[in-house]
Chains A and B, each alone.
Chain A
């Protein structure tokens, strides 16, 4: 019967596809660990460096956001589901350590297995998350967020350009974009208004910033949500300036566009991400090895050259040329830039609500 045979063949074909899709078919000799981190820190070109050095395969789950990573950890069973996690240090500090001693959700690291962690840049030595003499998280990479803009449309050496105000000035109305993110966009607006410590704003200041954002809303072409979307906005010429990441600048420059980032005098948003191992991780030894590799110079050089994100390893910074250091921003301390560390605000609930009001207005 033709129909039956056809069904059979289709079924077989689909079944084969399904079988190929079933998990657990690779016969690797390496161990595989479950990891949660932004894919950008282990691009395909850089991945082999870590995996070969440690003989561990990293299976990283779809990354949603730094907060979601924390949520995964604090959810019931979260401490035993993952082996290795990386998230924004200041976001995790609280939940990771728990309210008091003994409630840590991460494993106390065996620093003897992580020799590379001893050689961090001075800027980050204090960023390690510690309690009672034990280390729980080690910062491995860092970066800054600023305005990515088209040099042909916006003059580089204007005072306005070297400030967050460039995103809010009516001069560029309709040609700028912010990120659709309560935390970062409110912080940026706050700094544009002159607040030196945006994350410590009180309710009154927050209300003022909200009003300011609502007033300036018509200036934004859109609020981008994804990496690819943001890059598209600039590359298609939809906007001339936007809140952007380092790696966006890198991609656009490589595409041949005359794009760079500014160094806002009112505060460069500066963050770092730290790696930790959940308390009951199934494969702690392998996780330690991976952490060590990610503090190493080989990984650091590869990552920094590929994505232009910066790493905390002092050896990497030393191995770069002075020109590279300047271009990438390793010298931000020497340049005496105003660094504003990205931190958890006093009330994230209030910030999210405020942002909702801005968008709903």
Chain B
């Protein structure tokens, strides 16, 4: 008598129903935002007066919104590159045993241990006393890399660690120089993992708000811009802007994930 190989087969339906409900609840607010973005009304909310593309026109015609997007992309790229590079160094180092590894791990986690608002305020105080002006590529970048680095490390390390040592050992046995080994053997294989990490890092930076608010200067990021918009005026174009960002982010995520699957398929 053949027993079902999957012990959850009887629960399969329940699981699918659950997943369906989960995604429904997950997307309900997004769908609401999207619907509201087409609402021809100055006040964000129901009822729907009539459908119009008015707010999308406002978004694309507004230089500050677009420049905020540019700033977020700029600092996001910088934060992603920097934190991925730092995380890569850390990940490669962590493959070995060395004294102080535990301490170093705790140090890596410090930015995550510190709750967001304190992280921002601490940098504000720090930069204030260092008499450093708030600017995109200095103070904001530091805040973002701080936030992103631990996550980059935690994402990248498993991928680096999974890399098969025997390939490296074989190359060494054949007399290859460590740098050659890294460039020609290790790097090509972990590259998709690096890219995936960088994309994750970029997204974390893009969405970062609470630390940024304390160290932002004149060049605003998207979350800061959103917040400024709702602080002392109505922002009817806010949902439209949010939708634009979702679409762009989705494209980026799709990219990252394609690389991820390529890596998995290649058997990292």
> Which residues from chain A sit less than 8 Å from chain B, CB to CB?
10, 14-15, 17-23, 34, 38-40, 43, 59, 61-64, 75-78, 81, 226-229, 231-232, 235-236, 247, 251, 255
Q: Given A75-B128, A76-B129, A251-B234: A17 and B69 within 8 A (CB)? A: yes
Chain B residues with Cβ under 8 A from A20's Cβ? 66-67, 70
Instruction: Write the B120-146 contact mask toward A (1 if CB under 8 angstroms, else 0).
Output: 000000001101011110000000000
Instruction: Evaluate contact between B70 and A17: CB separation under 8 angstroms.
Output: yes
Number of chain B residues whose Cβ lies closer than 8 Å to a Cβ of chain A: 39
Q: Is B72 part of the binding interface, using a Cβ–Cβ cutoff of 8 Å?
A: yes
Q: Is B216 part of the binding interface, using a Cβ–Cβ cutoff of 8 Å?
A: yes
Closest Cβ of chain B to A261, distance in Å, is 17
Closest Cβ of chain B to A17, distance in Å, is 5
- CA gap between A87 and B134 in the complex, in Å: 20
- CA gap between A274 and B129 in the complex, in Å: 27
Chain A residues with Cβ under 8 A from B88's Cβ? none
Chain B residues with Cβ under 8 A from A228's Cβ? 44, 229-230, 233-235
Instruction: Evaluate contact between A63 and B74: CB separation under 8 angstroms.
Output: no
B46 in complex: contacting residue of A17, A43, A236, A255, CB < 8 Å: A236
Instruction: Evaluate contact between A232 and B77: CB separation under 8 angstroms.
Output: no
Chain A residues with Cβ under 8 A from B216's Cβ? 61-62
Q: Is B220 part of the binding interface, using a Cβ–Cβ cutoff of 8 Å?
A: yes
Q: Is B201 part of the binding interface, using a Cβ–Cβ cutoff of 8 Å?
A: no
Instruction: Evaluate contact between B45 and A235: CB separation under 8 angstroms.
Output: yes
Instruction: Evaluate contact between A21 and B72: CB separation under 8 angstroms.
Output: yes
Q: Can you give 23 contacting A-B residue pairs, CB < 8 Å?
A: A14-B73, A17-B69, A17-B73, A17-B74, A18-B74, A19-B74, A20-B67, A20-B70, A22-B70, A23-B136, A23-B218, A34-B218, A39-B231, A39-B232, A43-B233, A61-B216, A75-B128, A77-B131, A226-B230, A226-B231, A227-B231, A228-B229, A231-B234
Instruction: Evaluate contact between A21 and B44: CB separation under 8 angstroms.
Output: no
Instruction: Evaluate contact between B69 and A21: CB separation under 8 angstroms.
Output: yes
Closest to A43 in B: B233
Closest Cβ of chain B to A322, distance in Å, is 29
Chain A residues with Cβ under 8 A from B70's Cβ? 17-22
B43 in complex: contacting residue of A15, A38, A63, A232, CB < 8 Å: A232
Chain B residues with Cβ under 8 A from A62's Cβ? 213, 216, 220, 224, 227-228
Chain A residues with Cβ under 8 A from B69's Cβ? 17, 21
Q: Is B168 part of the binding interface, using a Cβ–Cβ cutoff of 8 Å?
A: no
Closest Cβ of chain A to B199, distance in Å, is 11
Instruction: Evaluate contact between A21 and B71: CB separation under 8 angstroms.
Output: yes
Chain A residues with Cβ under 8 A from B218's Cβ? 23, 34, 59, 61
- CA gap between A229 and B224 in the complex, in Å: 17
Instruction: Evaluate contact between A81 and B232: CB separation under 8 angstroms.
Output: no
Closest Cβ of chain B to A38, distance in Å, is 6
- CA gap between A226 and B227 in the complex, in Å: 9
A76 in complex: contacting residue of B131, B134, B228, CB < 8 Å: B131
Q: Is B116 part of the binding interface, using a Cβ–Cβ cutoff of 8 Å?
A: no
Closest Cβ of chain B to A27, distance in Å, is 15
Extra inter-chain contacts (5) besides given A18-B70, A38-B232, CB under 8 Å: A39-B232, A62-B227, A75-B128, A228-B235, A251-B42
- CA gap between A46 and B224 in the complex, in Å: 23
Centre residue among A64, A75, A228, A232 by max chain B CB count within 10 A? A228
Instruction: Evaluate contact between B255 and A18: CB separation under 8 angstroms.
Output: no
Closest Cβ of chain B to A88, distance in Å, is 14
Q: Is B40 part of the binding interface, using a Cβ–Cβ cutoff of 8 Å?
A: no
- CA gap between A22 and B227 in the complex, in Å: 21
Instruction: Evaluate contact between B74 and A21: CB separation under 8 angstroms.
Output: yes
B232 in complex: contacting residue of A14, A77, A227, A255, CB < 8 Å: A227
Instruction: Evaluate contact between A236 and B74: CB separation under 8 angstroms.
Output: no
Instruction: Evaluate contact between A61 and B73: CB separation under 8 angstroms.
Output: no
Chain B residues with Cβ under 8 A from A21's Cβ? 67-74, 136, 219
Chain A residues with Cβ under 8 A from B129's Cβ? 76
Instruction: Evaluate contact between A77 and B128: CB separation under 8 angstroms.
Output: yes
Instruction: Evaluate contact between A231 and B43: CB separation under 8 angstroms.
Output: yes
Chain B residues with Cβ under 8 A from A231's Cβ? 43, 234
Instruction: Evaluate contact between B213 and A18: CB separation under 8 angstroms.
Output: no
A18 in complex: contacting residue of B43, B77, B230, B231, CB < 8 Å: B77
Chain B residues with Cβ under 8 A from A59's Cβ? 218
Centre residue among B70, B134, B216, B219 by max chain A CB count within 10 A? B70
Chain B residues with Cβ under 8 A from A76's Cβ? 128-129, 131
Instruction: Evaluate contact between B219 and A40: CB separation under 8 angstroms.
Output: no
**Residues of chain B in range 233-268 having any CB-CB distance to chain A below 8 Å:** 233-235, 255
Chain A residues with Cβ under 8 A from B231's Cβ? 39, 63, 226-227
Instruction: Evaluate contact between A236 and B45: CB separation under 8 angstroms.
Output: yes
